[in-house]
Amino acid sequence: MKSREHRLGVSESNLVVRHLKLGEANHDKILKAVEDIDQIYGLDAVSFDERSYVLNIAYDASRICIDCIEDVLEKYQLEVSHDWWTHFKEGYYRFVDQNIKDNANSEPWSCHGSSGSTTKKK
């Protein structure tokens, strides 16, 4: 199976894909925002579907989160759609992003002895 190459700063184990519906806005503003989002370190891919007004984003959640993307949208005076489904997904995305970031920064632990220990029960 062929593995896909990711951008610098993107780990496949922390890669997430997000879909945000945007409110109606000027097409030029959206294109500028997409170009700006594309420069964020830890971002793997970004695209905009003009028919459905959906912003598709893939990024390393241990480095950036959905709030970073929304900050760029706010800079260009763009809003995420106010429908209940998009609002629900935003909350879920925030939860998962924070969980990935917390797990990436935590020290793994185990209640079992190390696998290389020389003491054995008899």
Residue 47: its pLDDT value, please?
94
Tell me the C-alpha distance between 92 and 14, whole Å.
16
Q: How many other C-beta atoms can be found within 10 angstroms of the C-beta atom of residue 80?
A: 19
Task: Domain ranges for the chain, please list them.
Answer: 12-103
Residue 43: its pLDDT value, please?
87
Residue 3: its pLDDT value, please?
60
Residue 40: its pLDDT value, please?
86
Q: Would you state the CATH architecture of domain 12-103?
A: 2-Layer Sandwich (3.30)
pLDDT averages per 10-residue partition of the chain, 122 residues: 64 84 90 92 90 92 89 93 94 92 76 58 52
Q: What is the secondary structure of 71-82 as a DSSP string?
A: HHHHHTT--B--
Do 16 and 97 meet the contact criterion of CB atoms below 8 Å apart? yes
Residue 18: its pLDDT value, please?
93
Residue 62: its pLDDT value, please?
83
Q: What is the secondary structure of 99-121 as a DSSP string?
A: HHHHHHHSPP--SSPPTT-----
